[in-house]
């Protein structure tokens, strides 16, 4: 699938015209045995699976301007994941966030929109999942178009991801700025006000 992703954008048209590789991966997702899986393999499986299921649903509704144009894109359509039928919302909130308890997943789960973190052109693997989570989170939180500093007005504008999942980023008394600064090269002053800019739901297509 890597040949269909470039600079975080997906060639949905080519996948729609030649879905064989994607359909093979979807079949493997259905047959996957979670019971025989270690923690790192499971984490990589969850992330790769979520991103592939989003792509699958987009090409089934291709052409598509936004995932939000499909009623129940995240909340109604079900997929077979390891012999269990679930929606994308259930997969993200009841399984991935609940089991992994790792806020970094928000920078690697790609919901098919331009407001998401860019989709990489590689799959996550058990042997490099931790390093890639660090790299991808650092990359997005140091991106000036994702975390926008306004030094004149002493504020920072961030994705609505931080508002929607604020409990994931503010554990143990941390603030959103505290969390972002874990990965920032240029630290944000703690006194800065936090603003949330509108999420861009346009499809992340090439």
Q: Each residue of 145-163: pLDDT tens digit?
A: 999 999 999 999 999 999 9
Give percent above pLDDT 90 in the chain. Answer: 95
Using CB atoms within 10 Å of the CB of residue 68, give its burial: 0 to 12 exposed, 13 to 18 middle, 19+ buried: middle
What is the per-residue pLDDT for 199?
A: 97
Query: Helices 20-31 and 39-60 meet at what angle, rounded to 10?
Result: 140
H helix intervals, the chain: 12-17, 20-31, 39-60, 88-90, 97-100, 129-141, 161-164, 166-169, 176-181
Q: Locate tokens 């949905």: which residue?
A: 12
How high is the pLDDT of residue 36? 81
What is the chain's mean pLDDT, rounded? Answer: 96
* Sequence ranges of the domains in the chain: 2-122, 148-197
Q: What is the largest CA-CA distance in the chain?
A: 54
In angstroms, the CA 54 to CA 76 distance is 13
Mean pLDDT confidence for 89-97: 98
Can you name the residues that pair with 148 across neighbouring β-strands? 157
Q: For residues 107 and 140, give the distance between their C-alpha atoms in angstroms, rounded to a whole number.
A: 7
Helix (H) or strand (E) holding 148: strand 148-150
Residue 111 · residue 56 · CB < 8 Å: no
Q: What is the pLDDT of residue 1?
A: 65
What pLDDT sits at residue 147? Answer: 98
* pLDDT beyond 80 at 103: yes
Contact status, residue 22 vs residue 55, Cβ threshold 8 Å:
yes
C-alpha 28/C-alpha 137 separation (Å) is 28
Contact status, residue 127 vs residue 160, Cβ threshold 8 Å: no
How much is the pTM?
0.96
- Confidence band, pLDDT 50/70/90 cuts, at residue 3: confident
């Amino acid at each position: 699938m890597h040949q269909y992703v470039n600079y975080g954008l997906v060639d949905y048209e080519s996948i729609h015209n030649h879905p064989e590789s994607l359909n093979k991966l979807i079949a493997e997702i259905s047959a996957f045995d979670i019971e025989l899986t270690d923690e790192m393999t499971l984490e990589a499986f969850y992330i790769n699976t979520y991103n592939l299921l989003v792509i699958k649903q987009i090409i089934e509704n291709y052409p598509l301007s936004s995932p939000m144009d499909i009623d129940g894109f995240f909340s109604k359509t079900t997929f077979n994941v390891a012999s269990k039928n679930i929606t994308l919302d259930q997969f993200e909130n009841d399984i991935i966030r609940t089991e992994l308890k790792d806020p970094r997943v928000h920078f690697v789960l790609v919901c098919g929109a331009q407001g998401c973190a860019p989709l990489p052109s590689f799959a996550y693997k058990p042997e490099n999942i931790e390093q890639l989570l660090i790299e991808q989170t650092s990359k997005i939180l140091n991106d000036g178009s994702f975390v926008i500093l306004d030094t004149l007005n002493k504020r920072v504008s961030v994705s609505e991801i931080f508002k929607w999942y604020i409990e994931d980023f503010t554990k143990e008394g941390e603030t959103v700025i505290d969390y972002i600064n874990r990965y920032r090269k240029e630290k944000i002053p703690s006194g800065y006000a936090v603003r949330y800019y509108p999420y861009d739901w346009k499809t992340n297509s090439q």
